[in-house]
Structure 1
Amino acid sequence: MEAPKLQSYTEERRKKQGQFRGAAKGVSLTLLIAIVSGLIAKLPFFQIMGMMILSILIGMIWKNTAQVKQDYQQGIQFSSKVLLRAGIILLGFRLNLLDIAAAGYAVLATDVLVITFTMLFILLLGKAFKLDKQLSMLIAAGTAICGAAAIIAVAPIMKNKQEHTAIAVSCIAILGTIGALLYIFLFPYLPVSKYEYGVLTGATLHELAHVVAAAVPGGEESSQAAIVVKLGRVLLLIPVALVISLIVNRKELAEKGLKSLPVPWFIFGFLFTSFINTLHFLPDSIVSYCLLLSTYLLAMGMAGLGLNVNYKDFAKEGIKPAAVAVAGFAGLLALSPLILWIFRAI
């Protein structure tokens, strides 16, 4: 009897070791893609896209041109869920709440206006285009708040399909890159000051990388204004995520109570790290390391998302997601005169 038990134990152990090796290879694959993306992102044009966006695009290309072994899936899922959320938590070290507070009511008023209008407008567009409600919500969050990070934060609340997350991130990534290039080209011709130009880039572009790249022509004054306005939008990710959770899950909430409400707890981790950064509890060198680690974790998570997407998922949705994203961005740009009026009036 001992021999069969020993054999069974040995086989079970080998199986677990094989699963662990496969998972490790899956995580290693996402790390490799993140490293390659980081190298590409140093090139002039690709700096605008940034490491995270390149990671999801490379992951999608890899998935659809090379075979991804089945035993890699556990590691890929770990990157696209656990590491991605860890990256968002560490992203809080980019926020200094006192800088946002010092900027005054104009920043808060602008960011609330931008997020409220954009979210509602894109959701209405999604309804008009008969686009999936969850996908519309992801595109709305990405456009209104902070691009891919907002999409990732909102997706678990709605128990979204991974292909929807990848489609929304891809739409926002490409559109934000085009928007940043458009801003850089138009800067010499816009009838605004350098400060106002920074405000517009921070209030209307999708990713922080897009904002930073687009603000460069306006110099230091433009860059500071752009980053403060953009970080104000990032900060509002927390209340917006909670509101979305209440709205999306209202039926379940009415039936089962607050315990049934999906709460994105990692968002509170994001708030905690932003408080630590604001109070300067950690040396600048450690904060810089945490931000670098955040970038790689987010890129690995994006790579994991890309490695789970087939091109047929995009074909299934057709042109609707891109059309909604473009129209939503155009509507946000139309707010520019009102945004500038707020900053001139307050």
Structure 2
Amino acid sequence: MRVKQVIFLVLAAAFFLLPWIFPAVRNHAPGVAVLCGVAFAVLWGNPYEAVTAKLTSPLLGAAIVGMGFGMNLAEVLRAGAHGMIYTLAGISLGLGLGIVLGRRLGLQKNTMYLISIGTSICGGSAIAAAAPVLKAKAHDIAIASAVVFTLNAVALLVFPAVGHALGMSQYQFGYWSALGIHDTSSVVGATMAFGPEALEVGTTVKLARALWIVPVTLFLSMCVAPAGEGEKRKIRFRIPWFIPGFLAASALVTWVPVTAEPGSFLKELSKYLMIVTLFLIGANLNRGKLKELGVKPVVHGVILWVILAGIWCGAIHFGIVR
């Protein structure tokens, strides 16, 4: 056990330090990190599973906020506003297709909604926000999270390869990643591997997409969530803390020029924090979670994801979305 713990910590430290010291490995580090985390957990077992499960969310948030320190707020808001219509169309299409497909497959209602919401908005964050509104059981949350996470891991490898094969510009790839990948961490990881402009575009558009957690959870509260006997429906929603944190960091470096230089360092540091976070996220997928998946939820998630990612890829490649 002690040997396993030491090797795990050495790997985590390596994924933070090596991309920082050796620029040549940076493009491949995000995908390799998540795959190493998955392989370690499935083949040997995560010795710090309880700790990494708690750490990944705050580390992910801290890395995203750190990236905000290197971005101009006006450009962030412009990119977010430009992608708003596409985001709304994608979320509407994703939820609609997800519900129709889930009913055809005979999925349980909460599993169907959670996978659809996770795919359409922002992966694990959307599932975490919607689960208490739907009064979803732990089993439903685990299945939806495992499906979405597995597809996120695939996206880290597939998206950059497809983007290069199609000759996408960094701007195009950033947009495609933001609209076609579930989780914010995987959007950051894939765009980081593609280039700095792709990273900035992907992060800002993705965070604008994540804001749709609020209206979607309000809709679930009012129209979908079950109400107890004699009770009124309760309106619940929450915004991931890293979104206002990212905007505040961008505002600081935009309006207080003296913070630009340290802000640039924090942005650079956050990239390597994200890579080690991807390793820890991968290490949270254990054998038990894989066994819980089942065929139907996986089929639901894969078909929905392939359709949405394919539509956005075609729309961007042929200039329909600019």
In the superposition, the TM-score normalised over structure 2's length comes to: 0.67
- Supply the distance in 1 between the matched residues of 2:64 and 2:108 (Cα, whole angstroms): 26
Task: Report the alpha carbon displacement of residue 328 of structure 1 after superposing the two structures with TM.
Answer: 2.8
Counting helix residues as a fraction of each chain, which structure ranks higher?
Answer: 1
Deviation at 1:132, TM superposition (A): 5.9
**Selected match of 1:233 from 205, 210, 219:** 205
The 1:267–1:107 alpha-carbon spacing in structure 2 relative to 1, beyond 3 Å, is closer
Rounded Cα–Cα distance in structure 2 between residues aligned with 1:172 and 1:305: 11
Q: Deviations over 1:209-248 (max 9, x none)?
A: 434545x6xxxxxx75x55653442231442122243244
What is the distance in 2 between the residues matched to 1:213 and 1:59? 18
Q: Amino acid of the residue matched to residue 230 of structure 1?
A: G
**Residue 291 of structure 2: aligned partner:** 315
The gaps in structure 1 that reach 5 residues or longer are 1-21, 217-222
**Superposition pairs for residues 276-295 of structure 1, below 5 Å?**
276-280=252-256, 283-295=259-271
SS class of match (1:47): coil
What is the CA–CA distance in structure 1 between the aligned matches of 2:93 and 2:218, rounded to whole Å?
19
Is 2:44 aligned against 1:66? Answer: yes
1:45-65 Cα offsets, whole Å, 9 max, x none, are: 9835x43x5444333322333
Query: RMSD in angstroms over aligned alpha carbons?
Result: 4.4
Which runs of 5 or more structure 2 residues have no equivalent in the other structure? 133-137, 182-186
Q: Alignment partner for residue 180 of structure 1, among 160, 182, 188? A: 160
- Letter in structure 1 aligned against 2:13: I
Partner of 1:121: 97
* Bigger radius of gyration: 1
C-alpha distance in 2 between matches for 1:155 and 1:240 = 12
Displacement, 1:174?
0.7
Q: What amino acid is the match of 2:286?
A: N
Give the percent of matched residue pairs that are identical in Structure 1 and Structure 2. 20
Q: Deviations over 1:224-280 (max 9, x none)?
A: 5x556534422314421222432444447974745x645534443333223334435
Cα offset, 1:97, TM superposition: 3.4
- Which of these residues, 307, 311, 315, is aligned with residue 334 of structure 1? 311
Q: Displacement, 1:316?
A: 2.9
Give the TM-score taking structure 1 as reference length: 0.64
Change (3 A) 1:263 1:200: closer
CA distance in 1, matches of 2:274, 2:264: 15
What's the counterpart of residue 269 of structure 1? 245
Structure 1: distance between partners of 2:46 and 2:173:
43
SS in 2 for 1:242: helix
